[in-house]
Amino acid sequence: MKILMCLLVFVGLRCEADEVLRLKGSDTLGAKLVPQWAESYKADHPGTKFEIAAEGSSTAFPALLDGTADIGMSSRDIKPEEAKRFEEKGIAIERHIVAYDVLVIVVNASNPVTGLTRKQVEGLFTGDIANWKDIGGADMPVKVTTRNTSSGTYKDFQTLAMSGRPYGHTANRMAGSEHPTQIIAKEQGGIACVGIAYAGASGIKALPIDGKQAVAADLATYPYVRPCYLFVRKDAPENIRAFVRFACSEKGKGIATRVGFLVKP
């Protein structure tokens, strides 16, 4: 009986000692990079557990505001109207740039087009160019696939590549969990914008833009690069801050690089 009571006390202490870090937001960060950070972090902090909800950057800020997330993941900066909601509640937040994502234009591997200009990219995604033959490709319709509207990628690409214009009315806006690369691999006339970490998927190929590849050697001139952030409240407890410090550390940067992101030295 004494042994059983001791075991119960021990289990209770283990449960109380466990810390749960809740992260919500960007799929760009939450699908691959953050889970790998979490696994590495747990090796040195075995009492830490993670809940990661990668549902789009726009979900990061409401969750951080209402306390259902400890850390907001975002592949874009906070919008003025989002920041205002925190100010209205007297909540100060801080942002940490943890990596840089390169947005890559991918098409079906069988597409004969070997490169695009920035002007052509804008035309393809806005619907001004509706057939690949108009830019020297095969006679087949252009079929654009985009992330859903809550995604930071969806909005950032409009700014970086489309002069802020809307996507063409025939664009397939994904609502499910299937990744754009899976669709492009099946669709001969397909085209999508994806993070560089996903550009090596089978059945697709990445196209150079104005002759520049999305690789380290061309990063100074490659047009579609954006920072990725972790947001926390300024009054966040030490265990939350410790994970953010880890993500920004040399070890965290090494993991980000292996996944396919870029980091500053």
Of 142, 151, 129, 184, nearest to 30 by C-alpha is: 151
Say yes or no: 198 and 211 in one domain.
yes
Q: In tens digits, what is the pLDDT along the chain, a chain of 265 residues?
A: 444 333 333 333 333 346 899 999 998 899 889 999 999 999 999 999 999 999 889 999 999 999 999 999 999 999 999 999 999 999 999 999 999 988 999 999 999 999 999 999 999 999 999 999 999 999 999 999 998 887 778 888 999 999 999 999 999 988 654 688 999 999 999 999 998 878 889 999 999 999 998 875 566 788 998 899 999 999 999 999 999 999 999 999 999 989 888 887 7
Say yes or no: 152 and 253 in one domain.
no
Say yes or no: 252 and 178 in one domain.
no
Please calculate the CA angle 194-197-198 and round it to the nearest 5 degrees. 50
Tally of domains in the chain: 2
Residue type, 100: Y
Range of the domain at 183: 101-218
pLDDT for position 208: 95
Say yes or no: 24 and 109 in one domain.
no
Say yes or no: 80 and 131 in one domain.
no
The CATH code of the domain that includes 55 is 3.40.190.10
Element (H, E) at 246: helix 238-248
Say yes or no: 20 and 73 in one domain.
yes
Say yes or no: 96 and 116 in one domain.
no
Asked if residue 5 belongs to a domain, the reply is no
Asked if residue 1 belongs to a domain, the reply is no
Say yes or no: 134 and 203 in one domain.
yes
Asked if residue 165 belongs to a domain, the reply is yes
Say yes or no: 81 and 27 in one domain.
yes
Q: Which residue reads 């990661």 in tokens? A: 52
Strand pairing report for 225-233 and 71-74:
antiparallel
Asked if residue 234 belongs to a domain, the reply is yes
pLDDT for position 219: 64
Asked if residue 210 belongs to a domain, the reply is yes
Can you list the positions of beta strands (E) in 182-265?
190-195, 204-206, 225-233
Count the neighbouring beta carbons within 10 Å of the beta carbon of residue 44: 10
Asked if residue 264 belongs to a domain, the reply is no
The span from the CA of 85 to the CA of 208, in Å, is: 40
Asked if residue 223 belongs to a domain, the reply is no
Say yes or no: 92 and 105 in one domain.
no
What is this structure's pTM? 0.77
Say yes or no: 130 and 145 in one domain.
yes
Please calculate the CA angle 39-36-24 and round it to the nearest 5 degrees. 95
Say yes or no: 157 and 175 in one domain.
yes
pLDDT for position 191: 98
